[in-house]
Amino acid sequence: MTTATERFLKYIAVNTTSVDDAKVYPSSPNQKVLGAQIAEEMKAMGLTDVIQDEYGYVMGTIPATRDKGPTIGLISHLDTSNAVSGGPIHPAFVDYQGGDIVLNKEQDIVMTPSAFPCLNEVKGKRLIVTDGTTLLGADDKAGVAEIMTLAERLLRPDAPKHGKIRIGFTPDEEVGEGTKFFDLEKFGAQIAYTVDGGALGELEYENFNVGYGNYHHQGRERPYGKCQESNDQCGRCGL
């Protein structure tokens, strides 16, 4: 079997940064590129009904090995945030025993437990980090890698019996457009789970919704510097 780590490192090599206010969908072409690669991987693994539609959504089926139970869906997203550079990503492994993590000595980029308290919870674990100049892409390529690795496991002859499982990978989640063209009827799951963030063993049954808006203000520029008529404030211009 291919490990989730091996898959993750392969997926993050494709820069899938989404773009705000794009006039196309998905908002960046590499989302479709990565989706096509994953669709081919799904076919080679033995999933059925594998498609990538015109909007970049990728879907496939792990066939049932028992008759009972609902169709379950597993979903994650292909894009990454545009808040920081999406590549080229230079991953590194850290066997973390506590303290600071120097990501980039030349640029003095350091992760500290004071800034990232979650580091206190992963002592003794092997971490994957970047060189500090890009994001890592774990949101949500870690989820993609986990789902794909589970799929490979469930397609083996010695896998536990299970019902029909549908897999869906979506574009543009980071810019709030992940569900824009998602075809629920085509996906066909009675119950679905998003594999994206959270602690090990944690299930979230609520979500937060974030909205944003842009506005343009037209006004008169306030003058800066000393009043032209006096070395002191003249009171006429508010300086």
Catalytic positions, written as ranges? 79, 173
Q: Burial level of 1, CB count in 10 A (0-12/13-18/19+)?
A: exposed
What kind and span of H or E run contains 107?
Answer: none
How far CA 211 is from CA of 61, 130, 198, 214, in Å, comes to 33, 29, 21, 11
Q: Do β-strands 101-104 and 48-52 pair in parallel, antiparallel, or remain unpaired?
A: unpaired
Beta-bridge partner residues of 147: none
Closest CA to 76 of 10, 153, 174: 174
Which residue reads 């437990």 in tokens?
113
